[in-house]
Amino acid sequence: MSTIVEALTLSAPAERLRGRLEGSPLARRAEIFDLDLPTIEVAAEDWLALARFLRDDPGCRFDLYLDLAGVDNLRRPGRKTRFEAVVHLHSLTHNEHIRVKVLLPDAESPSLATAIDVWPAANWFEREAFDLFGFQFPGHPNLRRILCHDAFVGNALRKDYPPGQRWFFAEEDLRWPDWAKDTDARAGHFETQTISIGPSHPATHGIVHLIARLDGERIVRAETQIGYMHRCFEKMSETHTWNQVIPYTDRLNYVSAMINGVGYVRTVERMLGIEVPKRGVLIRTILSEFSRIMDHCVNIGANLVDMGALTNFWYLFQNRENIYSLLEACCGARLTVSYVRVGGLAIDVPADFVARCRALLESIPTFVDDVEKLVTNNRILRNRFQGTGLVTKEQAIGWGFTGPMLRASGVAYDVRRAQPYDFYDQFDWDIPIGTDGDNFARYLCRIEEMRQSLKIIRQALDIFPASGPVNSDDWHVVLPPKDAVYHDMESLIYHFKIIMEGIRVPKGERYDWIEGANGELGYYAISDGGGGPYRLKVRPPCFPMMAAFEKIIEGGSISDAVATLGSLNIIAGELER
Amino acid sequence: MFGRGKALPGHGADKGTAPGGAVDSGPADFLTTRLETMVGWARSNSLWPLPFATACCGIEFMSVVSSHYDLSRFGAEVVRFSPRQADLLIVAGTVVDKLGPTLRRIYDQMPEPKWVISMGVCASSGGFYRAYHVTQGIDEIVPVDVYVPGCPPTPEELMYGILELQRKIQAGEKSRDTRSAKAAEGSRYLWSPGERTPDEKSDPVKPAAG
C-alpha cells in the first residue's frame, strides 16, 4: 500500500473480517487493509491456513474463488516483495468480495501452496500463474503450461519479458497429459481408446482441444487443452494507454463486446473517481443488455447447431443482425464496437436511437418465441439436454461458476442484483434460476434471461433523458469537443495530453466487476500513475467453467460432451485472452 | 445453360486473338471455349469453404453464411468442416503460435486445387496483437491468395474477397508464397518474423548465440 495511507478506522466489512481473524491463530500473521475491497496481506507460508479459515469460518464463508492474479513489482518500487499472488474471493452468504494478497519473498522461484483442496476452482488459475509468472504451486496435481505453447521459454507476464518475443512451436512439441500416453493395454480394457477432439473441430466453438479416454462410448477420463487462442491481452494492455486498451477488451468476449468495454471503463472511472452522466450510463446499460441477448442468441443457436437443429440458428442470428444495425448506427462497427471511452462514450447516439430500440423490443420476442416453439418441447432436444452435463449446486460453487451456469444450478447470484451498479437497482426484473443444473436448465435460463433483458431495456428507455451530455466534463479524462479544440488553446492542450500521454490514473489498484453475458466479469487494474495500466487482469467468466468441463463430462458419452460444451458458453477470446 | 453461342469470360476473344467466338447466324446450341476457362469457371462458382474460425472474425463469418447475407448467392455456401472435402480455407481470426502446426496440417490435408483467404487483420498480419504468442500473419504458415482487411471485416468485405478469389481462380492465378520455411530454419527463437523493422521499442532484442 505504498500510496494509500491505512485508515485508522476500517470499513464495516473489513472491521468484521478483523474481528473474525482475531480469534484465529492467524491474527498476528495477516494484515488487513481497506482498499476498494477489504484486503488481507499474508505471507506465503500462512496462505493455506488462511484460505481454509476464509472458506470455513461461519463469519467469512468465502466460498466462491473468483480469480488469481499474479503481480510482478519489478518496476513498482516500495513493495515488500517482487512477486505477489492476488486472489479475489466472494462470499455468497454475506454477499461480499475480498482480496487476499500473498507475498512471495523468493524472487528466484516464487512459490505458494496450491488451494485446490480448498477451492477446486484454483486449478487452472494456478496453472495460468505458473505459466505466465513462473509461480510454483507445490501440491498441484497437474502444473503444466496452460496458455503459452509447450516450447515457450520464460514467463511472459514478468516485467522483464519483452512483449514481442516469440518462440518457434512445432507439432512434436505439443505435450500430452501423462495419462494419455499410457498404451491402451495398460489402461486395462481392450475397448479403451484415447481420442483427440480438436483443436479444429466444428463442435469446439473456437479452438479447444479435448483429449478423452473412451471405454466403448463412455468417457472415463478427459483433459482439456487450451491456449490455442492466447493472444496476450494482458501484456498488450501493459504496453498501451488506458483508452487504447478499449479495443482489446472488445475482443475478449467478442460475442457481447459492449459489456467488456463497459466493465473495463467502469473500473478506470472509479479509480479516477469520475461520474458519467445519466444519459451516458443508460446508453451503456441498454446496449449491454442488447449485447447479452446477442450473446445468448449465439450460444443457444450454436449449441443447437451442434445437435443438428440448424433452423433455429437462422432465426436467432437474424436477431443479431437487427441488433448489429443498432450498434452500427451508434458507432459504425457491428461486432467489435469500441464504443465506450473512459468518462463516457465515443460519440452520442443517433437521433432515432429510442425508436430503433423500441422497434427491436417488438421484433426480438417473436424470434425467441419461434425458437421456443420449435425446440423447447422437441423430443430429441429434451433427450439430449435433460440429465446431461449435470452440475450440482455445491460443484458449481466449488468450481467458481458464475452467470447462467451457476443460476441454472439453483444459486440466484447475479451481480446486477447482488451488488447493483449503474441503474440496475431501479429496474424491476427477475433472476431466472434452474433447479436441475443440466443442459436443459441452462437453455431455459438463457431463454428467460433474454426476456428479462428486454424488460430491463424497456424500463431504461422509459427513464432515458431525451437530451443531455453523454460524457463527463472532466477534460483531464474526456477529449474536449472538436469545436473547442480548434478554437481555444486550453482545449487543444487537454486534447494533446490525452492523446499523447494517456489519462493519468492515480496510483493504486481496483477490482471492479459486472455481470457479463456468461458470468461475473471482473477487471483488476493496477496503476503506477502512468498513462497506461501497470497490470490489468481480467477475471474471465468462462475460464473456471472450461476448467470444470473435463470433470462434468466424465462418465457421459461423446455426444453428451458436445451438447455440454455448447451450453457452457465458451468464448475463446475471453477464455485465453 | 450458357446461352447461345456465347464466349465465356477470359476467352481469347476479349484479348483480341479471337481463336473462336460467338456464332451469330441463327440458333446455335453450342459454345466454344478453352478447357481451362471452363474448368476455372466451374471451380470458381462451386467453392466449398472450410471455415478455420478461431475468434471474432468467425462470428462475422457466421453472419456471412446466415440468412441475411447469404453466401450461397455466390456458390460458396457448402461449408465443410473436413479439410478433405473443402477447396477453400477461410482463416477467420487470430492464429497463435500454438495453433500454427494445426493450421499447416489442415492445409496439407486439403486436396488440390485449393485456395486460402485470410480474413481479418490478425490472420493477415497479426493485427494489433504484436505479441509474444501471436503469429504475425498466417502467410508464415500457408500461402494466402486473398487478404481481407478489417477487424473484423464486414460481411460485404468478405464477400468482395470471395468475388476477388473467384476472379483469380478464373484467371488461373495461384499464390505459392509462404514464409514458413524461413521461420522454421535455425534457432528456435522467433523474431516477429514479418519483414518489419526491428528497431521499434516493443521488439525484442535478439539474444546472443547459444
pLDDT digits (tens, 9 = 90+) for B64-113: 888 888 888 888 877 888 888 888 999 998 999 888 888 888 888 888 88
B183 touches chain A (CB under 8 A): yes
Q: What is the pLDDT, as a whole number, of residue B100?
A: 85
Task: List alpha helices for chain B, DSSP H.
Answer: 35-44, 56-65, 100-109, 121-125, 155-171, 180-184
pLDDT in tens, B1-27: 344 445 555 544 444 444 444 445 556
In 3-state terms chain B splits into helix, strand, coil percentages (rounded to 5) of 35, 10, 55
Contact A324 B63 (CB under 8 A): yes
Question: pLDDT higher for A181 or A271?
Answer: A271
- Asked if residues A414 and A431 have their Cβ atoms less than 8 Å apart, the reply is yes
- For residue B162, give the nearest of B102, B58, B77, B93 by alpha carbon: B77
- Asked if the model's pLDDT at residue A129 lies above 90, the reply is yes
Rounded Cα–Cα distance for residues B73 and A451 (Å): 34
- Asked if residues A367 and A450 have their Cβ atoms less than 8 Å apart, the reply is no
Q: What is the pLDDT, as a whole number, of residue A440?
A: 92
- Asked if the model's pLDDT at residue B182 lies above 50, the reply is no
Grid cell locating A491:
482545449
The pTM of the full predicted model, rounded to 2 decimals, is 0.87
- Sheet holding B49-53: strands in order across? B49-53, B88-92, B115-119, B146-148
| Phi (first) and psi of residue A110, to 5 degrees | -60, 135
Contact B129 A239 (CB under 8 A): no
| Residue A186 neighbours by CB under 8 Å, 6+ apart | none
Of A84-93, A179-188, A444-453, B183-192, give the lowest mean pLDDT range: B183-192
Q: Give A233's Cβ-side CA count (13 Å radius).
A: 28
B77 touches chain A (CB under 8 A): no
Mean pLDDT value across residues A344-369: 91
Residue of B nearest to A146 (CA): B98
Q: Give A3's Cβ-side CA count (13 Å radius).
A: 11
pLDDT in tens, A474-514: 888 898 888 889 999 999 999 998 888 888 899 999 999 99
Q: How far apart are the first and last CA of chain B?
A: 66
Q: How far is CA A371 from CA A95, A305, A368, A455, A560, in A?
A: 36, 13, 5, 19, 21
Q: What is the pLDDT, as a whole number, of residue B19?
A: 43
A559 touches chain B (CB under 8 A): no
Residue of A nearest to B126 (CA): A231
Q: What is the mean pLDDT of chain A?
A: 88
Residue ranges of A 289-308 with Cβ closer than 8 A to chain B: 298
- Asked if the model's pLDDT at residue A451 lies above 80, the reply is yes
Interface size A-B, in CB pairs within 8 Å, comes to 152
B181 touches chain A (CB under 8 A): no
Q: In chain B, what residues touch A166 (CB-CB under 8 Å)?
A: 97, 132-134, 190-193
For residue A88, name the pLDDT band (cuts at 50, 70, 90).
very high
- Asked if the model's pLDDT at residue A2 lies above 70, the reply is no
Q: What is the pLDDT, as a whole number, of residue B18?
A: 40
Mean pLDDT value across residues A28-46: 86
Q: What is the pLDDT, as a whole number, of residue A36?
A: 85
Contact B68 A318 (CB under 8 A): yes
Cα A505 from chain centroid?
Answer: 23
A228 touches chain B (CB under 8 A): yes
Q: What is the pLDDT, as a whole number, of residue B197?
A: 40
Mean pLDDT value across residues A35-60: 88
Rounded Cα–Cα distance for residues A546 and A574 (Å): 11
pLDDT in tens, A256-272: 899 999 999 999 999 99
Q: What is the pLDDT, as a whole number, of residue A4?
A: 45
Q: What is the pLDDT, as a whole number, of residue B194?
A: 40
* Min Cα separation B7/chain A (Å): 39
* Min Cα separation A350/chain B (Å): 21
- Asked if residues A575 and A230 have their Cβ atoms less than 8 Å apart, the reply is no
Contact B98 A230 (CB under 8 A): yes
- Asked if the model's pLDDT at residue A577 lies above 90, the reply is no
Grid cell locating A352:
432515432
Contact A230 B96 (CB under 8 A): yes
Task: List alpha helices for A134-201, DSSP H.
Answer: 178-181
* Min Cα separation B111/chain A (Å): 18
Q: What is the mean pLDDT of chain B?
A: 74
Burial class (CB in 10 A: 0-12, 13-18, 19+), A562: buried
Q: Kindly report whether the peptide bond that precedes residue A199 is cis, defined as omega within 30 degrees of 0.
A: yes
Mean pLDDT value across residues A528-547: 90
pLDDT in tens, A313-344: 888 888 888 999 999 999 888 888 889 999 88
Q: What is the pLDDT, as a whole number, of residue B29?
A: 75
- Asked if residues A194 and A211 have their Cβ atoms less than 8 Å apart, the reply is yes
B78 touches chain A (CB under 8 A): no
For residue B177, name the pLDDT band (cuts at 50, 70, 90).
low
* Min Cα separation B161/chain A (Å): 19
Q: Quickly list DSSP for A500-548.
A: HH---PPSEEEEEEEEETTEEEEEEEEE-SSSS-SEEEEE-THHHHHHH
pLDDT in tens, A131-165: 999 999 999 998 988 999 888 888 999 988 888 88
Rounded Cα–Cα distance for residues A424 and A418 (Å): 10
Q: A164 by DSSP, 3-state: which? A: coil
Strands (E), A412-493: none
Of B62, B66, B192, the CB nearest to A166: B192
Of A168, A236, A251, the CB nearest to B183: A168
Q: What is the pLDDT, as a whole number, of residue A262?
A: 94
Cα A551 from chain centroid?
Answer: 21
Mean pLDDT value across residues B164-169: 89
Mean pLDDT value across residues A183-205: 69
* Min Cα separation A316/chain B (Å): 10
With a pLDDT cut of 70, the percent of chain A lying above it is 96
Contact B66 A318 (CB under 8 A): yes
Grid cell locating A336:
467489435
